[in-house]
Structures are given as C-alpha cells and as structure tokens.
Amino acid sequence: MNLTKRKNKIISKLSTLAIPILLVVMRTSQCFAESIGTEEVQAATDNIKRVITSIAMPLGGVLIFASVVIAALKMIANSNNPQKRSESIGSLAWICGGGVILGASLIIAGIIINVATNNTGNLLGG
C-alpha cells in the first residue's frame, strides 16, 4: 500500500513538472514564413483540394441524401397526423439550409485557395 502511494506521488510530481516544460518547448518553437517554399505551398494546396473533393463533397452529399430519406420516412410514418407531418416538412427547410451552407463553404474554400496562391502554387507576395 505504501508503494502505491509513493508511486502516485512521483507520478503527480512528474506531471506537474511536465506541463511547464511542455509549455516552454511549445513557446520556443518558431515557424518563419520565409522558409516555406513553392513546393510546400503547392503540396498543401493540393492536399486541401484533395480533401475537399474526396471527403467533404461526398460526405456532405451522403449526409444530405440520408437526411432527405429520413425526413421522407417521417412524413410517410406521420401521414395521419397533420402536426407531425408539418414538422417533417419543416425539417426539409433545415436540410436545404445545411446543403446551402455546405456548398457555400466549399465555394469559399476554393476561393481562398485560389486567391492565396493566385492559382499558381505560389503564395501572393512571396
């Protein structure tokens, strides 16, 4: 039992020492914009474009499709109850709003990438 208490004290002291050391290490690491080359910028923009086109768009499409199917099933299940059916129809507006937000975010991400790199792979001003 005494060994367990001693072990816990040692672990707590080490953890209290680890946090300031981690903060100092994080504080001293620096990144200079001058050290970023064209290849890194091109690789980063290609990765962002790949993530947007291969993950965000299909995932958003699947989620929107699934939401429409669920709303349709709710409308079918609540066909005899006008109150719940109108709630199900109202959920379609939220689905459309989500689709608009998803589309706008993809458009804005594309605009930011094209403006930041001038569609050349080079950062503007660099």
pLDDT of amino acid 39: 73
**40: confidence class by pLDDT, cuts 50, 70, 90:** confident
Integer Cα distance of 63 and 81 in angstroms:
27
pLDDT at res. 11: 75
pLDDT surpassing 80 at residue 2:
no
Helices (H), 1-126: 2-28, 38-51, 57-77, 82-117
> Which residue has better confidence, 42 or 89?
89
Q: What is the pLDDT of residues 69-80, one digit of tens each?
A: 998 898 888 888
Please give the model's pTM, rounded to 2 decimal places: 0.52
Domain boundaries, the chain: 1-30, 36-126
